[in-house]
Amino acid sequence: MDICKRLGENVRRYRKEKGWSQEAFAHEADIHRTYISDIERGARNPTITIIEKLARPLGVTASQLLE
Amino acid sequence: MDICKRLGENVRRYRKEKGWSQEAFAHEADIHRTYISDIERGARNPTITIIEKLARPLGVTASQLLE
DNA sequence: CTGTGACTCTTAGTCCGTC
DNA sequence: AGACGGACTAAGAGTCACA
C-alpha cells in the first residue's frame, strides 16, 4: 500500500475518533483545511514536519501516523 | 527532540548496524550521498516517500525511523 | 463539510565540488 | 569515510474559488 494513502487513512481515522470535521482539525493543527483534505485522500507527499503538526492535536506520535 | 534530528539518529544507527558507509547506503536506497549526509545530521526535512526509500534497504518500516 | 484544479512561493532533492 | 557549500531543477507548502 502506498505510504501517502496509509497516512491519509490513519489521519482520517484518528480525526474521526476525536469527532472533528476536517475544518475543526485544520484549525487545531494550524494547517489549511484543503491541505488536510488532500492529505486524507493521499494526494500529497508531505514532509515530516507536517506529519508532526498533524500528530500533536490527534494525541498520537508521528510514527503512529505511518503505521 | 526535533523530529529531523531523531530521524537522522535512527537512520545512522540502522545504517551502521548494516555496516554500510553513507555512500554504500546511498546506493542501496537510490538517494544521493550528500542527501544521506544531510539527513543523518538532521539538516533536512524530508518527505514521507524519502522515509520509505530509506527504510526499505535498512529492513525497517518508515514508522520505525520516526520512533 | 469536503473534494478538486490552479496558482504562487518556498524548499526538497540532485549534482558538482572541496576540506 | 564524512561534513559542508553553491547552484540548479523538481516538487511540496500554502491558499483560493467553486463544485
Structural domains in chain A plus CATH codes: 3-60 (1.10.260.40)
pLDDT of residue A1: 66
Nearest to B51 by CA among B35, A55, A33: B35
Q: For every one of its 67 residues, what pLDDT tens digit does chain A have, with 9 covering 90 and above?
A: 699 999 999 999 999 999 999 999 999 999 999 999 999 999 999 999 999 999 999 999 999 999 9
Model pTM score: 0.93
Residues in chain B: 67
pLDDT at residue B23 tops 70: yes
**What does the block give as the cell for B57?**
534497504
> Which amino acid is present at B18?
K
Q: Which residue of B has its CA nearest to A7?
A: B48
Return contacts of A30-38, CB within 8 angstroms, 24+ apart.
A36/A11
Size of interface A-B (CB pairs under 8 A): 50
Split at pLDDT 50, 70, 90, the class of B1 is low
Residues in chain B within 8 Å Cβ distance of A49: 3-4, 45
